[in-house]
Amino acid sequence: MAADDSHDVRLGGEMRRVVRGVQVLQTRGSDHDKVLRDSRSTLSGMEIGGPVPRPPAAVLTELPAAPGVVGHDGSVLAVPRSWSDLTPSWVTAVLSSCYPGAVVSGVDLGPVEDGTNRRARLRLSYSEGSGPPSIFVKAGGRLVHRLALVALRALGAEARLAASTERLPIEHPRFLGGGFDAGRLATVVVMEDLATLGGSPNEATRALSVAEVRSGLSGLASLHAAYWDRPLPSSLAFLRPWRLGRALAPVSLASLSRGVRRLRELGEAGIMPPSATPGLLERQFRNSARRAADGPTTVLHGDPHPGNTYALAGGRTGFYDWQLVRVGNWSHDVGYFLVGSLGAEERRVHETGLLEGYLEALASHGVDPPSRPVALERYRAAPCFGLATWLHTLAAGSFQPTDVCLATIDRFATAYRDFGSHRLAR
């Protein structure tokens, strides 16, 4: 597929049906992924999840076997192999239930952002009916990124969420379709374009305001309360808790050591608390996963850092990029979001009040919330997981831009010092 000089591509071709015998993911519900703003390249000819070595059987048992994208009307289309497969017919089928009568006649592919995943905005024109002027498509990223998500049991999570019938009670744009080809470890998710909703994505390097965090915590309380300490509906039965066993410890330790070395290379060694050695952080990282998996459990966003949030009119905060959706303890989302989103001074002044506001919001939804001392103890463990997570991200070198890693590491490292986190789980 060739790209023109403007980095836009006119797509053509016909819809491809899935072969007989393929299991199908049902698609309803709502969500969104990152809106593009400053893409620097167009990957017009790149495959969406190319051939990969066959995963071990133990891994395959965790993955859905559905190489199909399902629209709300039940139309089954192949998971695209390249961006040129996103044809007018393909998009028409995906939109047909939400926008009956809409016939897409033209699909213009905008710049493709290549990060943990590949994602792009499609600008649409219609020959009949009406529909959204643009939609967003998220596809699998590089092989190393897909394999990392397999290790976390998260590769198919967002596609399955897109395929569920659940309407999560939290601000987030709507899924339009999704699917997963287990053989290629290829995923695709079609969703509303945040720009059409009047949303503005938050900068991952910028700390959020206290009001933005308060709104986000209110949304998380609504989500958590809906599934608090109760069996999940069948549509969300695929969700799993965090699992980081000892078998991953050597890999994790090496990655954390690379992250610390990378800080030194960047002249940012002073960010790290001296007590936060790679060995200690590795143990705390695994312990944090265990803590995040114990009760009371609920549905978690899993990765609510500022770069996965957006602002709406009226000061509302929404969440997108549900790649790491999980079940687990409320404190994982709350601690990670609060510590990772506020600047140090504002956090020190407002963290207790914000946490109490979250507990009050749980109570308003009919949940018997944790006591204040228990909630504070849970919250103060957050920097262990957050600091290790972002050192891993920095070490990988391609999951997030360096400036995003540094800004986020700084927030968690400062809280690590403030909370005396080196004393936890030695």
Residue 286 falls in which region: left (phi positive, over 0), alpha (psi -120 to 50) or beta: alpha
The two tokens of residue 396 are 């990988």
User: What pLDDT, on the 0 to 100 scale, is given for residue 258?
Assistant: 98
CA distance to 17, 102, 373, 411, per residue, from 99 (Å): 21, 6, 50, 43
pLDDT of residue 31: 33
Q: In the beta sheet, which residues pair with residue 345?
A: none
Distance CA 6, CA 300 (A): 40
- Please return the burial class of 8, using the count of CB atoms within 10 Å of its CB with bins 0-12, 13-18 and 19+: middle
The pTM (predicted TM-score) of the whole model is: 0.82
Residue pair 420/274 in contact (Cβ under 8 Å)? The answer is no
Instruction: Give the Cα separation of 256 and 281 in Å (integer).
Output: 8
How many Å apart are CA 256 and CA 75, to the nearest integer? 45
Q: What is the dihedral of CA 338, 423, 240, 208, to 10 degrees?
A: 10
What pLDDT, on a 0 to 100 scale, did the predictor assign at position 212? Answer: 98
Domains and CATH numbers, the chain: 9-195 (no CATH), 201-423 (3.90.1200.10)
**Residue 420: both structure tokens together:** 């005396």
> Cis peptide leading into 173, omega within 30 of 0?
no
Contacts of residue 232, Cβ cutoff 8 Å, sequence gap at least 6: 239, 299, 327
User: What is the pLDDT, as a whole number, of residue 48?
Assistant: 55
C-beta atoms surrounding 360 within 10 Å: 12
**pLDDT tens sequence for the chain (426 residues):** 333 323 232 333 333 323 222 222 333 333 333 322 322 222 233 345 544 433 332 222 223 334 566 554 555 567 888 899 999 999 998 898 789 999 999 999 999 988 778 999 999 999 999 999 999 999 988 888 888 888 777 788 898 888 776 889 999 989 888 888 888 888 889 899 999 999 999 999 999 999 999 999 999 999 999 999 999 999 999 999 988 778 889 999 999 999 999 999 999 999 999 999 999 999 999 999 888 888 899 999 999 999 999 999 999 999 999 999 999 999 999 999 999 999 999 999 999 999 999 999 999 999 999 999 999 999 999 999 999 999 999 999 878 999 999 999 999 999 999 999 999 865
Nearest to residue 55, comparing CAs of 181, 198, 160, 171? Answer: 181
Contact by Cβ (8 Å): 125, 146:
no
Which region, left, alpha or beta, applies to residue 367 given φ > 0 means left and ψ of -120 to 50 means alpha? beta
Angle at 191 between CA 185 and CA 197, to 5 degrees: 155
Count the neighbouring beta carbons within 10 Å of the beta carbon of residue 127: 11
